[in-house]
Amino acid sequence: MNISIKIDPATGQKYMAVSEKGRALLLNPLTNKGTAFTNRERDELDLHGLVPPAVCTIKQQLERTYENYLAKTTNLERFIYLSSLQDRNETLFYRLVLDHIDEMMPVVYTPVVGEACQKYSHIYRRGRGLYMNFGQKDMLEKLLINSGISNPSIIVVTDGERILGLGDQGAGGMGIPIGKLCLYTLCAGISPHSTLPIMLDVGTDNEDRLKDPLYLGLRQKRVRGEPYQAFIDAFVAAVQKVFPRTLLQWEDFLKANALHQLKRFRDKLCSFNDDIQGTAGVIVAGLFSALRITGKPMREQRVVFAGAGASAQGISDLIVSAMMEDGLSHGEAIKRIWTVDSSGLVTKARPKLEDFKATYARDVDEVAAYKCQDRSKITLLETVENVKPTILLGTSGTAGTFTREVVQLMAKINDRPIIFPLSNPTSKSECTGGEAIQWSDGRAIVATGSPFAPVTHNGKRYRIGQGNNAFIFPGAGLGISAGSVARVNERMFLEAARALAAKVTPQDLSDSAVYPELSRIRECSLSVACATARQAVKEGFANEEILEGLEDNLHQAMWEPKYLPMRYER
């Protein structure tokens, strides 16, 4: 079916032109209004008899769908219900979630999407996006054409190997690109007509999935090495040929693959990795906000990471950029960051270090003066005791990493310690928001990667700000796609972080929250989009002409979940 948004020259009103009539309109989630089709539309589009006679408003439909949502007894059932609603009526789905964003975002994405990915083969209802498996490596262009989308604005792709903190989920990882693109639409108004989720299925090493008789993916061990890279190269080449103007976002690849693909392709097409760059942007935005509370400049911070994965690398590199803008040299900035992994503090005494760890590894002479039990495995607690950091960031994916002793020591060292347990889903968080507040006697400035309820301590209410990538990547995607940006780099995410931090109000800070409330996320996304586009022009990645009327143009480009009048046009 051909679908296009047009403007009536006589009235100036937007309408949706469709090339088919009747049941086809009800079966397509982009055209289905259900009981909201007007009598005129029912006449013109041959819909009489296909829907009940009552003509409902979207408000009445929302009342009905929310009632059904509340009737579900588990979060997974709520996820399935919302997914089914999205599959039959995109507009109603987005309007419902937008009206209840605080309640429903954790259901449509993290943490509930993690459980949905684990059980994907058992809850599968209807195909969405593209499944491209290794055996189809010679027909990737045809598969892209099969999507039915002529010019997608954004593609999100995964190979399912590192789904949140849950590891290899194989084909079940498709839940992540679907959910991520849902947030692009929900938070920044990227039209659902123009998004494409893709699962690159190269097998799975998850024995539970391979043994499951209902598993929907390629039933083999993961393809690795040169054959894997050749498949990825062929995929990128197909995207460049079929969709040369799309933004390609990499999502939930294993750390080594994530870093390698970003480095391999970042200068060849419009592409970024949200786990690395989007996470960095949102966390640095939270740090900018936290420093408004402490009153200390970025160049004076001492940062300890618990965890040394891809997200830690992205955050570290962006912190270094922020410190350099605040007056430090590159070498001085690097020296203000320490990383602790499963083997302890990363030092230059280790025989083999990957590039990221080598960059931030501490000198042997430095750690020789540390007080510790075993210099070859300096613990997180010992690192905090010796380094005396102002900022503690958790990217370990391991619950309980921030112990009571670690948090209390941070509070002893700092009047207002900055403690961000960032791993998700909730079960993987280094500590809960409540624990960070209670153990620091209410002095910690806390942000988390997963959603946590507000905490009350000594009669004061603390709102736990969520360092949700949805504050950054949807807006960045809007600025990149609407601005026809050719390439993406770190400086664009640093400016996006500044734009988001600027949206944090004095009231937010008085509630101890370093992020805005989710109800303002579209407003935040517009600011992020403008900042991203402006920086793209400065970097030479976009034409200067996009700056004229930029904010109004980007606002106009944001899709709204509202029913448009529909007309049949052959």
Of 180, 255, 357, 428, the catalytic one is 180
- pTM for the model stands at 0.94
SS3 content of the chain, % helix, strand, coil (to 5): 50, 10, 40
pLDDT at residue 421, as a whole number: 97
What values do phi and psi take at 5, rounded to 5? Answer: -95, 125
- Tell me the per-residue pLDDT of 470-481, one tens digit each, with 9 for 90 and over: 999 999 999 999
* pLDDT for the residue 11: 93
Q: Is 131 a catalytic residue?
A: no
Residue ranges of domains in the chain, CATH in brackets: 61-269 (3.40.50.10380), 280-471 (3.40.50.720)
Q: Any catalytic annotation for residue 120?
A: no
Check residue 425 and give its pLDDT.
80
H-assigned helices in 49-174:
58-70, 75-88, 90-99, 101-108, 112-118, 120-123, 140-146
Helix axis angle, 175-188 to 90-99, nearest 10°: 70
Residue numbers of the chain with a pLDDT score lower than 50: none
Catalytic residue of the set 69, 94, 109, 215: 109
Which 3-state string (H, E, C) describes 354-391? CHHHHHHCECHHHHHCCCCCCCCCCCHHHHHHHHCCCE
pLDDT of residue 410: 98
Predicted pLDDT at 570:
86
